[in-house]
Structure 1
Amino acid sequence: MTASTRPDDDSYSLKRSDSPCVAVCSTLYDEVCRGCGRTTMEVANWVFLSDDEKHAIWQRIKAQGYPRNRG
């Protein structure tokens, strides 16, 4: 997907490879980080995911209200 064909949504405001990590890491109760909303597998494999996979994750976590800021 080229820059001219990208949809106008917030998940493209950052580089598509940017991590949603907000340094509020906690997976105490399940496999989802309370800070960024990614699963433990998504966090562990982030650097290996394609841009399209990262974009799909960004879309899902933003729809769920992540990433969450400190405080």
Structure 2
Amino acid sequence: MPCAEGNSISDEEIESFLSVLEGRSMTDSELSFKLNLPLFNVRIKLRELKKLGYIAENDGEYVKK
């Protein structure tokens, strides 16, 4: 896995997102609810996770790679 050092997402946040996405796809709103985080924060973290190659997006749904 790529290192998250120097990015706006911590290793703990990466693990949280990836564990929620394990075996399923979710929208940003669903992730916001499940992780109890503001939607704007979730969207920022999703952009980082995509950039780092951890997740993919398809029709507004996010899935772990």
- Measured against the shorter chain, the TM-score band is 0.3 to 0.5
Normalized per residue, the structure richer in strand is 2
TM-score by length of 1: 0.33
Task: Return the structure number with greater relative CO, CA threshold 8 A, min gap 6.
Answer: 2
Q: Which has the larger radius of gyration?
A: 1
Normalized per residue, the structure richer in helix is 2
